[in-house]
């Protein structure tokens, strides 16, 4: 089962990063207000980018690396 690291653009231009094994369902959950607390307060507008990983562990490690980056470097992370 593949895992996805994803980056959402939210209301006000904020970014939200997360991981999931079903990107479509997770995005719908965010839209429906059933996702993370952050996206309930800052509704997502779109999925900016995502990247697949072989397992949850790799996706979690990548998520932690992404979240440590400044905003200006987050999109470039997905090009690595």
Is residue 4 predicted with pLDDT exceeding 90? yes
Phi, psi of 16 (to 5 degrees): -135, 130
Query: What confidence category does residue 2 fall into, taking pLDDT thresholds of 50, 70 and 90?
Result: very high
Q: What's the CATH number for 3-77?
A: 3.40.1440.10
How many other CB atoms are there within 10 angstroms of residue 76's CB atom? 9
Q: How far is C-alpha 47 from the chain's CA centre?
A: 8
Element (H, E) at 1: none
Query: What confidence category does residue 80 fall into, taking pLDDT thresholds of 50, 70 and 90?
Result: confident
Element (H, E) at 5: strand 3-10
Give 20-49 pLDDT, tens digit per residue: 999 999 999 999 999 899 999 999 999 999
């Amino acid at each position: 089962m593949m895992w996805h690291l994803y980056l959402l653009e939210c209301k006000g231009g904020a970014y939200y990063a997360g991981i999931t094994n079903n990107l479509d369902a997770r995005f719908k959950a965010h839209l429906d207000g059933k996702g993370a607390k952050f996206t309930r307060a800052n509704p997502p507008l779109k999925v900016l980018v995502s990247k697949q990983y072989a397992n949850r562990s790799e996706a979690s490690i990548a998520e932690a690396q992404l979240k440590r980056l400044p905003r200006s470097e987050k999109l470039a992370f997905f090009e690595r």
